[in-house]
Structure 1
């Protein structure tokens, strides 16, 4: 557990613990339903339990994690209404960020996306699930950063904290390969300066992932 964890520096300890936990959540290190003892997190980070509890309290407040017991937390399962609500908000907020990113595009931005797309395709072909989830987050984050709107990025990061732990489910229906087709279309549209096509491809990417999660999570429910 927490193979990528590094000891936390003592200055600004609480914020660093929170940021590290957010990173691990977005990179798929927490599996929904898995209990994660606070002591294990503290040991992995090389800190006491107190800053870990404070960071987890912040995550509890926005619904990213839930108490499993007095000493453990976990990522809660998403219900259908919550998953649908997340999809609807993402469609509005993330496509807006994509349109603004196209308006602010430059050669460095396009080069960064092309490099991240290569990582996505490499991890998809090799079946590296966690590697793909990490590269997927980095691709989308780089896209949204080009919007140059810190407010939008903060909103999007909170949305991704909620949805990222569930993206490993998409491997079941070969969705990573399908998603990469949309990623390629996004990059091609940005090269051409076509904000509407970039937004449409991103919308399709989000909607496709939602459809797969609905089938995987709820198809067996009565």
Structure 2
């Protein structure tokens, strides 16, 4: 019995971390959307765990500004306001172009091939109208690029910004689509091939501006979500 208890204790931090990362990724990629209440009990049943690690994960996410815990039964994505939008946009424009530029010297031919793969998957998702696949590959494109910079703290900060934006991107992409967005990823890939830091910085900034501009346009205020 003692061995079982010790193993349970040893596994608990890993379980809590896994639940937190799972919910975090769901928010980043828009699998959790505004206006839909989160149930600790429901999430625990879905994940096959007790409510405790789910509750702790949601508390951490609330501390990061991603969700609001109004009561035990009322947990939702944090509301977007013009002030919050402006703050998030400013932070993304400050951090992400720099993260990309610092990654530039470390991008190998193999890494460039992965970036092209995600860009192609983005194009396919756009043609199919698959919002989830579009957001997933958009995330993978950006963070495959950023993580090459060997700046884990910087990249984690950027993830925290995406954590707060992801649910709203799901709404706006579902409503207005992505077909009218210029393919700034293709521009970024060309800049990477040329080792042009200024062009890469501009492409990432423009990509952020295009996507966040949809949120700023107010489409996120609608509650219906297209999958």
Q: 1:190 aligns with which of 192, 201, 205?
A: 192
Q: 2:38 aligns with which of 23, 36, 39?
A: 36
Judge conservation of contact 1:95–1:203 (CA < 8 Å) in 2. yes
Measure, in 2, the Cα distance between the counterparts of 1:11 and 1:58.
14
Q: 1:146 aligns with which of 131, 145, 148?
A: 148
Measure, in 2, the Cα distance between the counterparts of 1:120 and 1:40.
31
* Consecutive unaligned residues in structure 1, runs of 5 or more: 1-8
Judge conservation of contact 1:33–1:75 (CA < 8 Å) in 2. yes
Number of residue equivalences: 212
> Within the alignment, does 1:21 sit opposite 2:28 as a pair?
no
Measure, in 2, the Cα distance between the counterparts of 1:62 and 1:93.
17
Q: Report the alpha carbon displacement of residue 196 of structure 1 after superposing the two structures with TM.
A: 0.9
- Structure 2 matches for 1:34-183, cutoff 5 A? 34-171=36-173, 174=176, 176-179=178-181, 181-183=183-185
Measure, in 2, the Cα distance between the counterparts of 1:145 and 1:125.
28
Measure, in 2, the Cα distance between the counterparts of 1:98 and 1:174.
27
Q: Report the alpha carbon displacement of residue 11 of structure 1 after superposing the two structures with TM.
A: 6.4
Q: Report the alpha carbon displacement of residue 219 of structure 1 after superposing the two structures with TM.
A: 9.2
Judge conservation of contact 1:133–1:168 (CA < 8 Å) in 2. yes
* Consecutive unaligned residues in structure 2, runs of 5 or more: 1-10, 223-227
Q: Which has the larger radius of gyration?
A: 2
Q: Report the alpha carbon displacement of residue 68 of structure 1 after superposing the two structures with TM.
A: 4.5
TM-score, normalised by the number of residues in structure 2: 0.87
Measure, in 2, the Cα distance between the counterparts of 1:35 and 1:78.
15
Distance 1:45 1:72, change over 3 A: farther
TM-score, normalised by the number of residues in structure 1: 0.89
Distance 1:175 1:87, change over 3 A: farther
Measure, in 2, the Cα distance between the counterparts of 1:214 and 1:139.
23
3-state DSSP of counterpart to 2:218: helix
Distance 1:72 1:146, change over 3 A: same
Measure, in 2, the Cα distance between the counterparts of 1:103 and 1:157.
22
